[in-house]
Amino acid sequence: MTAPSVPGVLRGAIDAAALRVAQSKATTLVYANLGYEFAQNWIIGLSIFNLLDTKASDIDYFYTSRLPGEPAGGVDDVHTHPAEPRELRVSITRRF
């Protein structure tokens, strides 16, 4: 049995780029991981996230939302999740 079809309603997976609704710019982020085994079964590590401290959108979503003062039906718009700033993490690992 198939789902009923309604004219003008899209069902299933939708490729927003193919529909030309909205398209984001590409983002490139650089990460680095270093590790050093300083004793038997012990490793110290350093991870650097967003090495170049790129100010960019990590991911964008396109949907209808409504903020105070906007029309009751909402506004179609791009909602952005910014990339995290440069971040350093140090880890110590012991293997058993």
Residue among 58, 65, 60, 81 nearest 16 (CA): 60
pLDDT at 3: 47
Of the CA atoms within 13 Å of residue 95, those in its CB half-sphere come to: 8
Q: What's the CA gap between 53 and 84, in Å, rounded?
A: 8
Domain positions in the chain are 21-94
Share of the chain above pLDDT 90, in %: 46
Strands (E), 1-96: 32-39, 42-49, 57-65, 75-82, 87-94
pLDDT at 49: 94
Residue stretches of the chain with pLDDT short of 70: 1-20
Indicate the pTM of the whole model.
Answer: 0.61
Chain segment 4-13, per-residue pLDDT in tens: 444 444 455 5
pLDDT at 26: 83
Q: Which stretches of the chain are DSSP H helices?
A: 16-19
- Residues forming beta bridges with residue 39, ordered by sequence position: 42
